[in-house]
Amino acid sequence: MRQGLDGGSGDGGGLVVGMEVAVVVDREGGEQIGFISPLQSAAAMGYDGILLGMGNPLLDISSVVDQEFLDKYDIKLNNAILAEEKHLPMYEEMASKFSVEYIAGGATQNSIRVAQWMLQVPGATSYMGCIGKDKFGEEMKKNSKLAGVNVHYYEDETAPTGTCGVCVVGGERSLIANLSAANCYKSEHLKRPENWALVEKAKYIYIAGFFLTVSPESILLVAEHAAANNKVFSMNLSAPFICEFFKDVQEKVLPYMDFVFGNETEARIFSKVRGWETDNVEEIALKISQLPKASGTHKRITVITQGADPVVVAEDGKVKLFPVILLPKEKLIDTNGAGDAFVGGFLSQLVQEKPIEDCVRAGCYAANVIIQRSGCTYPEKPDFN
């Protein structure tokens, strides 16, 4: 019998996470009841390391700022960019001028932490990326382990742990990432037996597009492994600048993508740089889903979020729209991590082989929780049914 992780199972059994769980085991001569603890449950139920993420681990330095600050550093809302020379003083200025919060972040790491939170099964998720040997790096390790994620960080001896300025005005956010150590990830770390074992164990792999700027070689190694072993490989368009300035490396990995996530702005830029001459998000999602694939095992599914507008899902030559959970403006704290949380929620159901409708519903639920809090943070337990 395969237990579900959402309070139900394939044949009407139940699971309560956080206490011993009764499992019916088929044996010759009848069924026997055994018990597993929550710490055993990931392995016992086939969820041990089922989902692997790779990306740029960053410490978010998050604050509500003012328009004057955005103008000073030429920052646009609802955007994500890599820090240039002119942005470097902003991190210190944020800390001295505004009330800042330090939150473990980075797009892929956010998604993996949210998936782990939704699953509530320790060790169901793993993550790799590069941090510095410093106090921010130690903080990151502590946070991730507390979240139940099995992290295998590559620790760079010289570069400090990467940071991301999260500037919030009126609930809308802008991200300015200073990658530092996150930019130093090497495929040699991935190839080490103890790290490659995470790849071997995973059945689902997710990487945000931001990692294309750091280690495309690592992405291709993992993507080729997924295609050869009938695993599900997913990526995110992540930001307009990725679609625009890293088109060539994105193009190399696209054939391996079974799921492509993104938002409406990224989708339109993706279309523009390919000369598709359409701004229609549904058309673009459909076109992305129909691009050539490296393996025919899984069809490609495109999932595009549009803020408060319906989520667009394209598969099998058809487009479906799913409404999001609308939130009154006064309940919106900040949109930082909303897209990452959507992916995390979605993946938490995908790894349980739930229908796409349930995956989207879980994504919308997770995003709705995160935008009512500061940064990509969440309460102790989800109440998603």
Tell me the catalytic residues: 340
What CA–CA distances, in Å, run from 169 to 45, 66, 69, 243? 44, 6, 10, 25
Q: What are phi and psi of 255, to 5 degrees?
A: -60, -20
Q: Give strand ranges (E) for the chain.
A: 21-27, 30-36, 51-54, 58-64, 79-82, 101-105, 125-132, 150-156, 163-169, 172-178, 204-208, 232-236, 259-263, 301-306, 309-315, 318-322
Give 259's strand partners: 234, 301
Residues 6+ apart with CB under 8 A from 156: 130, 131, 132, 133, 181, 184
Whose tokens are 């989207």? That residue is 360
Single out the residue of 5, 24, 21, 217 nearest to residue 125, CA to CA.
5
